[in-house]
């Protein structure tokens, strides 16, 4: 590799709480010449950057992309080719619905060195912040992370919805094969997701939690069942970013809250 080229660190910033970032990721922020950061990255983390580091916002929200993925690729290449150390800072983990693999392939094909630095993904972080274990002895021995981003009805399909890449979201398989589902980017499709899961055999009384702004000071957690969670979330005007958790593990949160309430009552 040409030694005059820089490198790109593709870094996970965690689910929202800035204290959940790894030490290695924080060091890369401190060392960076250029930082390209996403919408869900805590502004507090950018305070660790050098005063002379260039900060470039490239966030994406539903229906609004500040910078296209192609433009992000070009920007990474531009600064790395100029010998800069570039940090691509992403919410959660860069390899879990973070397009980190796409960026690495683009860079590698052009001779740019890169590294992955993992972060706490939303399924892990937001669930913990809401007191929900994704697995629990005797209740759940498996979980799956699924994206329902921009899901739309698939014409002529018997499997329900398709994602932005045109791949079918196999609710028919997921409904009964996995104990816990952690569904990203699905709030706008919540009613349809619930209907698909019930359609393919998940009981309508299955507990569901929706976690808005997980691990942050403005976190909200709503719970219900596949039958009523869409109505509950709609009434509360719950929005993005939010994670949906489907499964019996949601009941653990309820048990923990009951114990906490009992403890407070005894102390009071």
Cα separation, 235 vs 251, whole angstroms: 22
CATH topology of domain 123-255: 3.30.950
Provide the pairing of β-strand 85-90 with 7-12: parallel
Q: What is the per-residue pLDDT for 77? A: 98
Which among 17, 38, 93, 163 is annotated as catalytic? 38
Query: Where in the chain are the domains?
Result: 7-120, 123-255
Active site includes 7? no
Cα separation, 50 vs 55, whole angstroms: 10
Which among 17, 93, 163, 185 is annotated as catalytic? 185
Phi, psi of 197 (to 5 degrees): -65, -40
Active site includes 38? yes
CATH topology of domain 7-120: Cobalt-precorrin-4 Transmethylase; domain 1 (3.40.1010)
Active site includes 60? yes
Q: Around Cβ 34, how many Cβ atoms within 10 Å?
A: 22
pLDDT tens track of the chain, all 268 residues? 445 799 999 999 999 999 999 999 999 999 999 999 999 999 999 999 999 999 999 987 666 657 999 999 999 999 999 999 999 999 999 999 999 999 999 999 999 999 999 999 999 999 999 999 999 999 999 999 999 874 344 333 344 455 544 467 899 999 999 999 999 999 999 999 999 999 999 999 999 999 999 999 999 999 999 999 999 999 999 999 999 999 999 999 999 999 988 888 877 6
7-120 with 123-255: one CATH topology?
Answer: no
Which among 7, 60, 113, 172 is annotated as catalytic? 60
Report CA-CA distances (Å) from 100 to 40, 96, 105, 231.
15, 8, 9, 35
- DSSP-assigned letters across all residues of 180-222: EEEEES-GGGHHHHHHHHHHTT--TT-EEEEEESTTSTT-EEE
């Amino acid at each position: 590799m040409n030694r005059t080229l820089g490198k790109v660190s593709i870094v996970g910033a965690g689910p929202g709480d800035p204290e959940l970032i790894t030490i290695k990721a924080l060091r890369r922020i401190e060392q960076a010449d250029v930082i390209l950061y996403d919408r869900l990255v805590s502004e507090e983390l950018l305070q660790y950057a050098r005063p002379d580091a260039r900060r470039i916002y490239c966030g994406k929200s539903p229906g609004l992309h500040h910078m296209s993925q192609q433009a992000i690729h070009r920007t990474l290449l531009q600064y790395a080719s100029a010998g800069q150390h570039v940090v691509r800072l992403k919410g959660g983990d860069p390899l879990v619905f973070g397009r980190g693999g796409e960026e690495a392939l683009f860079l590698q094909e052009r001779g740019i060195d890169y590294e992955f630095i993992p972060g706490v993904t939303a399924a892990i972080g937001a669930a913990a912040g809401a007191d929900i274990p994704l697995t629990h002895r005797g209740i759940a021995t498996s979980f799956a992370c699924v994206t329902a981003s921009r899901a739309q009805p698939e014409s002529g399909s018997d499997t329900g919805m398709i994602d932005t890449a045109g791949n079918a979201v196999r609710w028919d398989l997921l409904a009964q094969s996995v104990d816990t589902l952690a569904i990203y980017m699905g709030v706008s499709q919540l009613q349809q997701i619930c209907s698909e899961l019930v359609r393919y055999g998940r009981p309508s009384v299955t507990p569901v939690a929706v976690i808005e702004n997980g691990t942050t000071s403005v976190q909200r957690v709503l719970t219900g069942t596949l039958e009523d969670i869409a109505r509950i979330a709609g009434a509360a005007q719950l929005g993005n970013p939010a994670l949906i958790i489907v499964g019996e593990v949601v009941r653990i949160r309820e048990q923990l809250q009951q114990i906490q309430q009992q403890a407070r009552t005894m102390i009071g």
